[in-house]
Amino acid sequence: MKKKIAIIGSTGSIGKTLLKIINKDKKNFDILLLTARKNYKVLLNQAKIFKVRNLIITDKKYFQIANSKNLNKKICIYNSFNELDKIIKKKLDYVMSSIIGLDGLVPTIKIIKHTKKIAIANKESIICGWNLIQKELNQSKTKFLPVDSEHFSIWKTLNHYKHPNIDKIYITASGGPFLKTPLNEIKNVKISQALKHPNWKMGKKISIDSATMMNKVFEVIEAKNIFNVSYNKIDILVHPNSYIHAIIKFNDGISKIIAHDTSMEIPIFNTLYDQENKTIKSKDLNIKKLNNLNLQKINKNTFPSIKTLKLIPKKNSLFETILVTSNDEFVELFLKNKIKFHQISKYLLNFIKLKEFNKFKKLSPKNVTDIMKLSKYVRLKIKSLSI
């Protein structure tokens, strides 16, 4: 029997990689829904290749263009995730949620009740709205699968372990393009240099987050939420080769090192074929990399964004929305050449320390509206600054 699935954010790198995997096993999948914000050309082509009858394009302008270009009467194009009840009549077997940014939060929460399993690649949703996601997962009896290579690796390893047995979780970081760059040269970093990640091909935003190490701050928050462990049980190790994705030290004295190729195909494949006896072609064990792990602690002078971890409250709060949104805005300012690279972390730290934000450390999001309203306020406040 064919697996019925949906991919929200199918025109991004995660969505495209998933479709590449499915293309090798087409006969076993029935894709009911694909979505995009603007990229209607790619979306319509995906629908044609995989015979998908339902599409959602959330940008009104491109939704209208797509409708005018759509000559296939079998394809229904919608403009909102409010149409999910109309599109999905029975629970799907699997959903991939890979919309970038906080825009992915509402669709992720809305689609949970429509699927037996949901793989979430959207960092912002897990960071800012984890308590809301958990509530929906529990009510819908939907299984959650992490997609980030680090969290997937930890999740895969913890299958037969109880969480209290964890002594320490180590998440690895490549160090990005400026690991060995002297501090006095970082001030003159160009956008093109910051976008050149040594190991991964990624979008502009996440490439900059990797260069500042802010992505690891986010991954620590994700790990705390997903695996229900305290921040003092999570640490970051620099590992330039990106071959080791996580290390887990257990209370029984055993440590497990999780390694795999620097390819998102591996975590995506494993979430798609969760608990099935399926194999994926991968490279032989890289002995050279294993003999040269070069693990090291993070230099906080080189990567000052790590200091933000000391400001995050122990329990889920609205403060994480302030952190995520303000980082988005300062990265955008850098990509528009309005601030320098080293100023991203400087402005971020100063901004989130504003007294008016202290109260949000004690407030948990009660609903999605709380998160979106606060995010909008933060964006407007940063835009009003004289930078």
| Total domains, the chain | 1
Q: Which domain holds residue 81?
A: 3-146
For the chain, 387 residues long, give each residue's pLDDT as a single digit of tens.
Answer: 899 999 999 999 999 999 999 999 999 999 999 999 999 999 999 999 999 999 999 999 999 999 998 877 789 999 999 999 999 999 999 999 999 899 999 999 999 999 999 999 999 999 999 999 999 999 999 999 999 999 999 999 987 666 668 999 999 998 888 888 888 888 888 999 989 877 766 778 889 999 999 999 999 999 999 999 999 999 999 999 889 999 999 999 999 999 998 889 999 999 999 989 899 988 999 999 999 888 999 999 899 999 999 999 999 999 999 999 999 999 999 999 999 999 999 999 999 999 999 999 999 999 999 999 999 999 999 999 877
Q: Domain for residue 285, yes or no?
A: no
Q: Domain for residue 34, yes or no?
A: yes
Q: ∠ CA(237), CA(210), CA(106), 5° rounding?
A: 110
> Does the global pTM surpass 0.95?
no
3-state secondary structure of 200: coil
pLDDT at res. 178: 87
Q: Domain for residue 63, yes or no?
A: yes
- Going across the sheet that includes 234-238, the strands are 234-238, 166-173, 244-250, 255-259
pLDDT at res. 200: 66
pLDDT at res. 275: 87
Measured in whole angstroms, the distance separating CA 238 from the mean position of its chain's CA atoms is 20
H-run or E-run covering 76: strand 76-78
Q: Domain for residue 92, yes or no?
A: yes
Q: CATH number of the domain that 54 lies in?
A: 3.40.50.720
**Phi, psi dihedral angles at 268 (to 5 degrees):** -65, -45
Structure tokens at 146: 């992490």
Q: Domain for residue 74, yes or no?
A: yes
Q: Domain for residue 342, yes or no?
A: no
Q: Domain for residue 32, yes or no?
A: yes
Q: Domain for residue 239, yes or no?
A: no
